[in-house]
Structure 1
Amino acid sequence: MAARIAVVEDEEALSILLRYNLESEGYVVDAIMRGDEADMRLKEEVPDLLILDWMLPGLSGVELCRRLRTRMETQDLPIIMLTARGEESERVRGLSVGADDYVVKPFSTPELMARVRAMLRRARPERISGRLSAGDIDLDRQSHRVHRSGREIRLGPTEFRLLEFLMQSPGRVFSREQLLDGVWGRDVYVDERTVDVHVGRLRKAINRGRERDPIRTVRGAGYALDETFLQSRPASKSSSVPA
């Protein structure tokens, strides 16, 4: 069962962006525009994770977070707070009322998605799929093993994370900067051309002979896992996927 995430954000464009990215990773998203409405809806049904804006109409995100922590059914709800406030005192305030993580706008969407996965993995491990599949490629997150058409592919840790990142959003084109944020992290300084090197290593490892290359290069934009590759698994009894 997919994890359900509530997004409480009054900026419509940002709310749409977050919903699109979360749904592309398989989550069920409930978008809410007002703090007081979120307060009522969270009394009726508790999501697996809450992304909460600091400033909201009706009821501030800080006050909503404080209220949620006083209720038994939401006292352990994972909460990521979004805000344009970057001062240390404001971050401390957000965390002191019960937020588990704090992201300052503008932020890297791939990094936020990585934080969501990390938080769900800790709080709701049963809601995070341990395996990813695309065409004839299977990736096991627990064992850190990758197979293609049944044969094991040896990948270094960076190439594994890169493949995992691309497989989570088939068809989506990521710039080199987005890949650096999502795979290496914003706190690590790596030249953008390093991405090209690791993509080359990944391609060399996963492609053999005349096998189709699942990674698509988009000139001037970046890289993507080719969405048409998802249907490339050869039809056979061993590769059939139950409905």
Structure 2
Amino acid sequence: MDHLTWYPQSSIPPVQVPYVCGNEPTCKKDQFLDFATLQGWELKQSDSLAQLATRSQAWLFFGLLAVIGIPAQNCRASRASATFENVVNASILPSVLRSIVEGDDENNVALIVDVMTALARAEELMRAEVIPLIKEFEEGETLNLWSSQPYAILFSIEILIDTIVFVLGDEADSRRVSLFAQGMEGIEQSLLHVGKCRSLAHRLDNLRSSEFYVLLSFPSGDIRSDHSKCNHTSCCCFDVDQTSYRTRHVEDCVMAKRFRLMKRSL
């Protein structure tokens, strides 16, 4: 997710996405539609969140990059860490996508068709297999993008899909709904981790997943607020809910005005 902006004054570091494929094969450009068959496994057969993340990174993440012309080794960077040796660095992605958009030959048109076909397949797999498995594995767990490497890996795939669709897709596709932001406990825990209300995942349901990631880096409005008791759609700290968007300070201003008017009438 290195291609996205991270607020430089943020007290929270950007999410690091480990490179977990190691010596395992990664999907090549011409293998995307049948890579799992070639490997003899299916995503839905994964027996842990870590295995699901490894398989998804090898197939969906590096497979999509391969289709647009970025080899896996070009997005692998060494970084000193106590928990993992290599990380994924996709900062090259914007320039490659720009070159595709600016190209006008027949080969470029054919490439865009291949990319959109792969994206449709990746979106189908994420919606039908990956997301349900994540929800199953995260039950009873307290995961967030900083504490769980597999969760960060899987979210990076959502970000990659969103970025490519936004640049290469049509206007309707570019506002695709994030699969993670709605009903995912790990996203709500990530909001709590950066001091924001967990209900933002639902109240800001028109944000793309890339925009939502950047939002995590913004400073919280009131650092004294404890949002741990807020529910999925409402913020108890500021009396905000999904339907009214009324806030406590607005209500207090109304009450103060009424009180002043009452005093004048006495």
Whether TM-score is above 0.5 comes out as: no
Q: Which has the higher contact order (CA 8 A, sep 6+)?
A: 2
Give the structure with the higher percent helix: 2
Scaled by the length of structure 2, the TM-score of the pair is: 0.20
- Higher Rg of the two aligned structures: 2
